[in-house]
Amino acid sequence: MDTRTGVALVGAGAFGQFCLKTFAAMPEVQIVAVADIDSGRAREQAALYGARAYGNLADLLANVDVTIVALNTPPYLHHAQGLATLRAGKHLFCEKPLALTEAEAAALIRAADEHGVLLTVDYVMRHNPFWAAAAALRESGVLGALRHMDLANHAAGLDLPDDHWFWAPEKSGGIWIEHGVHFFDAFAWVAGQPGEITASQAFARPGGVIDRVEALACYGRTAAHFYHAFDQSGATEQTTVTLTFEHGYVTLREWVPTSLELLTPVPPDGWQTLLPGEVTLAPQPDGRFHAVARAPEGKSAVYRASIQAGLRNLVRAIQGQEPLRVTGQEGLDSLAMACRAQALAARPGR
């Protein structure tokens, strides 16, 4: 008997195709269906995995082999398609953002409860070993209090054509909702408590769309700063997260981090076991320690493993083997921060 969990993917675009390839390598799931409004694309992708192709969601939801729907359509469709999925008794692996508004996200959470199914959001950082190490360092208290978290995200917006849904706020929700949610959630995880936005601003291209946003927040007594710019190309993009502790600095580089750097006066026996991958350690002339933990397998492998870990967690949660690592409520909390940042920055500056 085939004990694999049947997964359907809806929205076989750029990221959907990456997810299909990624899911196909998981022994515990089987891709049973692929839907896309572009039925040729659905057929082509379904054929690669021996799955059934669908041109619409309603027909796919009638397929009894589908246990989980991975929703990879643009953000403005997540609410309606997510609701249809949950009401059909299917579990939801939702791409971020969970929805465009807090009311829509709350409706999805209610629908999951009412229909006795689970929903989670594909927040890949929650399954990244270097983000997990940052959270473990904070939780251990070995570096003292977490004072400040800083994100500088210079992303490849120049590679997105002007008519891409990303630039249309009614489709993407805007930068905070489409992309910021990842980091609002990751910072809450690292800080161990929810955050609150205190200030926000936005910058538009000359005569054009908003392509840079910035906000201040606090997570309890930890201050936070977020800067998202979609004004770089794939060749020049760069993401840096700096966490400042009472006794040390932690740096994560790149949007999918493959390394973590730590500079601290605290001796390694207090924190070395919390670092993943290959660790190099160099005592500094000033008496501090500089450690770098690296994933030798590279970015694509780390990214795929993070997506797989999220789907695997949902499969195990459905089977009652473990709790969800990313709950619907956490999807809503991070979305609420994004909506607040959006509202505070409603009047673009400069």
Ligand X SMILES: NC(=O)c1ccc[n+]([C@@H]2O[C@H](COP(=O)([O-])OP(=O)(O)OC[C@H]3O[C@@H](n4cnc5c(N)ncnc54)[C@H](O)[C@@H]3O)[C@@H](O)[C@H]2O)c1
* Element at 22 (helix H, strand E): helix 14-24
214 sits near ligand X (criterion: CB under 6 A): no
**Pick 15 or 141: Cβ nearer ligand X:** 15
**Pick 73 or 222: Cβ nearer ligand X:** 73
Q: How far is the CB of 45 from ligand X (least distance, A)?
A: 9
What values do phi and psi take at 165, rounded to 5? Answer: -60, -25
**Pick 77 or 291: Cβ nearer ligand X:** 77
Structure tokens at 95: 């791409």
Q: Whole-angstrom Cα distance, residue 60 to residue 293?
A: 43
Contact 307, 128 (CB under 8 A): no
Q: Whole-angstrom Cα distance, residue 146 to residue 128?
A: 20
Q: How far is the CB of 47 from ligand X (least distance, A)?
A: 15
**Pick 19 or 146: Cβ nearer ligand X:** 19
Q: Whole-angstrom Cα distance, residue 41 to residue 45?
A: 6
Alpha-carbon distances, residue 112 vs 56, 312, 337 (angstroms): 21, 19, 22
**Pick 31 or 143: Cβ nearer ligand X:** 31
Classify 314 as helix, strand or coil: helix
204 sits near ligand X (criterion: CB under 6 A): no
Q: Whole-angstrom Cα distance, residue 103 to residue 109?
A: 10
| DSSP letter assigned to residue 27 | T
- Which one of 4, 28, 38, 218 is in contact with ligand X (CB under 6 A)? 38
- Which one of 4, 28, 37, 259 is in contact with ligand X (CB under 6 A)? 37
- Which one of 33, 60, 124, 229 is in contact with ligand X (CB under 6 A)? 124
96 sits near ligand X (criterion: CB under 6 A): yes
Amino acid identity of 245?
F
Window 271-300: residues binding ligand X (CB under 6 A): none
**Pick 105 or 275: Cβ nearer ligand X:** 105
Contact 210, 204 (CB under 8 A): yes
212 sits near ligand X (criterion: CB under 6 A): no
Ordered DSSP codes for 219-257: ETTEEEEEEEE----TTT-EEEEEEEETTEEEEEETTTT
Which stretch in 30-38, 219-227, 313-321, 322-330 sits in contact with ligand X by CB under 6 A?
Answer: 30-38
**Pick 126 or 340: Cβ nearer ligand X:** 126
Q: Provide the β-strand partners of residue 244.
A: 148, 249
181 sits near ligand X (criterion: CB under 6 A): no
Which stretch in 13-21, 24-32, 240-248, 336-344 sits in contact with ligand X by CB under 6 A?
Answer: 13-21
x-or-dash string of contact with ligand X, 42-81, rule CB under 6 A: ---------------x--------------xxxx-x----
Q: Which residues bind ligand X (CB under 6 A)?
A: 10-16, 35-38, 41, 57, 72-75, 77, 95-96, 122, 124, 178
